[in-house]
């Protein structure tokens, strides 16, 4: 497939065939990651800036590792070490970076729409690594790829997304990707942590975790986005854990081979029991491994695309 896209801002930019192509490309790179020598010269001579204005462990390190394994030069920039702390605008910081002629910028930023803002103004590829509450397309792609590796196809599977939906860019991107690939999506969480206008989403919404878990093939727990919440949405985390924390009781109601996921970082004992997070049903570490392969695929597709 000839890749046509300059930027990855949201899952809505992709169609089913393109998502499948990402999965197939990531499968190839996953094999490379299992070799004794994991470095290949695929992107030798290319460069990408990892511009993370928000804290990150998994996303930043996996993009850095993905680039280096493809022999791409990666340069990391955090808010604390950039001129943003001196009052420089995002636009001027980005234009400064573009003057250095990178092939791509991976951006994580607290403002929704920040990736699109840069994409409209810069010639290099912009890959959205999370913008505010809006979107996290690479996380959705790696989550989908994890399930694709497990099942071979997402068609007809039922996936429950559990927790703080209202503040989660991961949930928004996953709903789009999972339904596009043929899965049935359920949402469950406290009413105060569900977004408005859910009637427009292609999902079934539950307020009872036990009902929501019945017959599901995968359950994706979400981290409580405490840093994005306004005070008063939850009495306390103990009450959340009592009513919406995932444990073995709920697993018994799901499909016999149900899988458990979490984008991380996990609050053990709050969103998910520690025993369940470490169980054979958990795909949490598989998601981390899939993240490197998926981001290798994305860097390859976007940095080697035929420029118009």
Q: Which residues are annotated as a binding site?
A: 58-59, 86, 108, 136, 139, 169, 223, 264-265
Contact 219, 162 (CB under 8 A): yes
Nearest to 51 by CA among 108, 5, 100, 113: 108
127 close to 8: Cβ distance less than 8 angstroms:
yes
Nearest-5° angle of CA 203, CA 207, CA 212? 60
Helix (H) or strand (E) holding 21: helix 16-33
CA 269 remoteness from chain centre: 22
Which residues fall within 8 angstroms of residue 34, CB to CB, at 6 or more apart? none
Please state the residue numbers annotated as binding site for carbamoyl phosphate: 58-59, 108, 136, 139, 264-265
Contact 293, 30 (CB under 8 A): yes
**b/e map of 107-125 (b: 16 or more CB within 10 Å)?**
bbbeeeebbbbbbeebebb
The position carrying tokens 């990892």 is 50
Structure tokens at 278: 């470490």
Tokens of 193: 């942590």
Cα torsion angle, 120, 121, 126, 130, sign: negative
Binding residues for L-aspartate: 86, 169, 223
Give the residue from 275, 167, 280, 178 showing the smallest Cα distance to 220. 178
How many Cβ atoms are within 10 Å of 101's Cβ, its own excluded? 9
Q: What three-state secondary structure class fits 253? A: coil
Contacts of 55 (CB under 8 A, 6+ apart): none
């Amino acid at each position: 497939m000839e890749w046509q896209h300059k930027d990855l801002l949201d899952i809505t930019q992709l169609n089913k065939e393109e998502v499948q192509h990402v999965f197939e490309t990531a499968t190839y790179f996953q094999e490379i990651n299992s070799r004794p020598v994991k470095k290949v010269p695929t992107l030798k001579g290319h460069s990408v800036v990892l511009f993370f204005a928000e804290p990150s462990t998994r996303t930043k390190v996996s993009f850095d590792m993905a680039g280096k394994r493809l022999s791409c030069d990666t340069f990391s920039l955090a808010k604390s070490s950039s001129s943003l702390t001196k009052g420089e605008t995002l636009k001027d910081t980005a234009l400064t970076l573009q003057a250095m002629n990178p092939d791509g910028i991976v951006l994580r930023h607290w403002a929704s729409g920040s990736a699109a803002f840069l994409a409209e103004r810069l010639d290099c590829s912009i890959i959205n690594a999370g913008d505010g509450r809006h979107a996290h397309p690479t996380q959705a792609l790696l989550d989908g790829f994890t399930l694709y590796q497990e099942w071979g196809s997402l068609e007809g599977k039922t996936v429950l997304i559990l927790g703080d939906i209202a503040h989660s860019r991961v949930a928004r991107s996953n709903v789009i990707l999972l339904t596009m690939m043929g899965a049935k999506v359920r949402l469950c969480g406290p009413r105060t942590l569900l977004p408005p206008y859910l009637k427009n989403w292609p999902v079934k919404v539950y307020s009872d975790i036990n009902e929501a878990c019945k017959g599901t093939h995968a359950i994706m727990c979400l981290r409580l986005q405490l840093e994005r919440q306004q005070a008063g949405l939850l009495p306390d985390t103990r009450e959340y854990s009592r009513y919406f924390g995932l444990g073995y009781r709920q697993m018994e109601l799901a499909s016999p081979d149900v899988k458990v996921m979490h984008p991380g970082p996990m609050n053990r004992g709050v969103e998910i029991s520690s025993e369940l997070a470490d169980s054979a049903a958990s795909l949490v570490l598989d998601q981390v491994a899939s993240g490197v392969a998926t981001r290798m695929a994305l860097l390859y597709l976007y940095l080697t695309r035929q420029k118009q």
